[in-house]
Amino acid sequence: ADYPCGKLARQSLVRLIAGRPVSCSGWQRDRYGRLLGDCRAGDTDLNPAQVRAGWAVAFGDFETEEAVARAAKVGIWAGAFEEPRDWRDSHHDAPVERKHGTLASLSDALREFFRFW
């Protein structure tokens, strides 16, 4: 059955933030121009927390947190779903996105460095 996973992910994030101020720091852009960064609400690192809660997919980082969520069958892992990059791969009008590994991170960092140089 379909369910509003985006809405549920947002609700999870609101609970993690718990009314605290959020601070984010971006450090580079990926090959698609998206700013990569870390976000915190107090002592809570929101990036791995959202993956651990089962409402975000690990993408080059946080594989351990994703494995915990998968094993516990929480969030999106409670049922079946199509991973975002797989959905984009199946829709030819969307850019193909490969897993963001160490080599890609290095490439992105160099691209960002030379963009500002």
The answer, yes or no, to whether residue 86 has pLDDT greater than 80, is no
At residue 96, the pLDDT reads: 53
CATH T-level topology, domain 5-116: OB fold (Dihydrolipoamide Acetyltransferase, E2P) (2.40.50)
Sign for the CA dihedral angle at 57, 63, 68, 73 comes to positive
Name the DSSP letter for residue 103. Answer: H
> What whole-number distance in Å separates Cα of residue 101 and Cα of residue 65?
16
> Is the pTM for the entire model greater than 0.75?
no
Amino acid in the structure at residue 9: A
Q: What is the pLDDT of residues 99-116, one digit of tens each?
A: 555 555 555 555 555 554
**Beta strands at 22-29 and 44-45: parallel, antiparallel or unpaired:** unpaired
Of the pLDDT bands very low, low, confident and very high (cuts 50, 70, 90), residue 85 is confident
> What whole-number distance in Å separates Cα of residue 37 and Cα of residue 69?
22
Is the distance from CB of 41 to CB of 20 less than 8 angstroms?
Answer: yes
Is the distance from CB of 50 to CB of 56 less than 8 angstroms?
Answer: yes
At residue 22, the pLDDT reads: 96
- Bridge partners of 22, per DSSP, are 41
At residue 61, the pLDDT reads: 85
Q: What is the pLDDT of residues 12-65, one digit of tens each?
A: 999 999 999 999 998 788 777 888 889 999 999 999 999 999 999 997 789 999
